[in-house]
Amino acid sequence: MNETPPAGGRTAVPLPSWKFNKRDAALCAAVVLCALLLGWRLWLAPPIGDTVVVSHDGVVIARLPLNTDAVYVVEGAYENVVRVEDGKAFIESATCPGQDCVHQGAISKTGSSIVCLPNRVSIRIEGGSADVIIG
Ligand SMILES: [Zn+2]
């Protein structure tokens, strides 16, 4: 008897061992792709930034390294005291009404920001390599 499988190819051919076929490969690729995308998002979304960008009236007025403790005073209609400490940035004190900016707490992750509406000041964390923020 000849062992050659039928030429039509439709009949089940006994497989010597389990093999990837095209569908398995596609499924596998899809799963890996999903995992990569998810991982990429997770990886990109919460990185610790490295620069504190201080803007006033939409204009960047200071860029402070997040790993160096510093105090930066923003003067405008009101005054905001921006403090960088232990890799975090926050508004230590302000003369604006409401003090919302002070209450917003400390930020350290890329894309996080604190806004002082009355003084039109915002401080934002930027990362060196992860500048693209996913909305
Ligand atoms: Zn404020």
Question: How far, in Å, from the CA of 95 to the mean position of ligand 1?
Answer: 7
Q: Which protein residues have a CB closer than 5 Å to ligand 1 (ion)?
A: 94, 96, 101, 116
CATH number for region 51-126: 2.60.320.10
What count of residues does the chain have? 135
91-106 pLDDT, tens digit each: 999 999 999 999 999 9
- The closest of 64, 59, 74, 58 to 107, measured between CA atoms, is 64
> For the chain, which residues make up each domain, given as ranges?
18-47, 51-126
pLDDT at 130: 45
110 CA to centre of ligand 1 in angstroms:
21
Task: Report how far ligand 1's centroid is from the alpha carbon of 112 (Å).
Answer: 16
Listed in sequence order, the DSSP H helices in the chain are 22-44, 100-103
pLDDT at 32: 83
Higher pLDDT, 126 or 32: 126
